[in-house]
Amino acid sequence: MVQPITKAIFPVAGLGTRFLPATKANPKEMLPIVDKPLIQYAVEEAISSGITELIFVTSSSKRAIEDHFDTNFELEYRLAQQGKSDLLDLVQKIVPKGVDCIYVRQPQALGLGHAVLCARQVVGDEPCAVLLADDLIDCSTPCLKQMLNVYHETQASVIAVEKIAPEDSDKYGIIAVDKSFKGQGYIHSIVEKPKMQDAPSNFAVVGRYLLSGKIFEHLSRLTPGRGGEIQLTDAIASLLKEEKAMGLIFDGTRFDCGSKLGYMQATITLGLRHPELGNDFRSYLKETVESF
Ligand code: G1P
């Protein structure tokens, strides 16, 4: 029987230097896209894919994330008193019943692989999901759900990928796959942020992983890789020597909200679709673009 995946790791300890000064005192994961913080999009994707344990790997400057997923007694009390039941419902549903939040500290910023390794005690040797909240993935079927479908078919680790421009190879983990790769296929190898001329393909890893429980063993044996950091990509490369992993081109759109342009693109797309604001926002955008 396929081992179910119920745990997801959210590495949220990073400094967010690309968004300074906005992220000087605020975690980058708490930046809103329209009216929801980035991290909540990733959490909702996980929950709607069947995840019930949310493991946040945080650092000292990320307290706002814990507060966001906790109850806020004063706010809830006042909303109830004012009869604002819609808003009360909205804040109370952020973490639905049956879903638990667990917080683990990453004491030093030693890289994504190290952050994932910090969750080992909580995950044990089970397979788990890893979601990077910087990548907001907009899909009709949640990206993680699409990946879980592949996991259930193949029982292999699954990594979400998308085609990128070759000159962007040095921003991503890049997978090597068969020339005929379309949609999904086994990964032969993976390399972190290669130069364009060294990239084994144009398929880049986006921030969604379903990983075998064995990943922790591989992570624990790593020495620092690219940028002097413990890289998750290197642990996957090592895992591939023992186990299979699938690359999946998900059906949907990824916004790189770790970059200012991607963040603005996500804001515009989700703003246009917003049930209350969409129409007014569309008219405003049209007028503004025409008058520029
Ligand atoms: C991380 C990973 C990289 C992956 C990317 C996806 O890089 O190390 O392999 O392609 O996330 O967003 P980062 O963006 O943290 O530099």
Q: Domain ranges in the chain?
A: 7-274+282-291
The pLDDT assigned to 15 comes to 84
Candidates 3.90.1010.10, 1.10.3720.10, 3.90.550.10, 3.40.50.11540; correct CATH number of 7-274+282-291? Answer: 3.90.550.10
Tens digit of each residue's pLDDT (9 = 90 or more) over 188-242? 999 999 999 999 999 999 999 999 999 999 999 999 999 999 999 999 999 999 9
Per the structure block, which two tokens stand in for 154?
A: 């193949």
Tens digit of each residue's pLDDT (9 = 90 or more) over 64-85? 999 999 999 999 999 999 999 9
- Whether 162 lines ligand 1, by a CB cut-off of 6 Å, is no
Query: Please, which pLDDT band fits residue 93 given cuts at 50, 70 and 90?
Result: very high
The pLDDT assigned to 144 comes to 98
Tens digit of each residue's pLDDT (9 = 90 or more) over 130-188? 999 999 999 999 999 999 999 999 999 999 999 999 999 999 999 999 999 999 999 99
Rounded to the nearest integer, the mean pLDDT of the chain is: 96
Helices and strands (H and E) in the chain: how many: 11, 14
Distance 214 CA to ligand 1 centre (A): 20
- Whether 190 lines ligand 1, by a CB cut-off of 6 Å, is no
Tens digit of each residue's pLDDT (9 = 90 or more) over 8-27? 999 999 888 889 999 998 99
- Whether 192 lines ligand 1, by a CB cut-off of 6 Å, is yes
pLDDT value at 129 more than 80:
yes
In whole angstroms, give the CA distance from residue 143 to residue 4.
17
Query: Please, which pLDDT band fits residue 90 given cuts at 50, 70 and 90?
Result: very high
Tell me which residue has tokens 């604001």.
277
- Whether 147 lines ligand 1, by a CB cut-off of 6 Å, is no
- Whether 172 lines ligand 1, by a CB cut-off of 6 Å, is yes
Distance 15 CA to ligand 1 centre (A): 14
Per the structure block, which two tokens stand in for 176?
A: 């090597």
Distance 165 CA to ligand 1 centre (A): 16
Distance 187 CA to ligand 1 centre (A): 17
List alpha helices for 138-201, DSSP H: 143-154
Choosing from 9, 130, 171, 172 the residue with most ligand 1 atoms within 8 A of its CB, the one to mutate for a pocket test is: 172
- Whether 132 lines ligand 1, by a CB cut-off of 6 Å, is yes
Residue 54, CA distances (Å) to 60, 66, 129, 140, 184 in order: 18, 11, 10, 22, 27
Distance 148 CA to ligand 1 centre (A): 20
For residues 12, 16, 19 and 24, what is the CA-based torsion angle, rounded to 10 degrees?
100
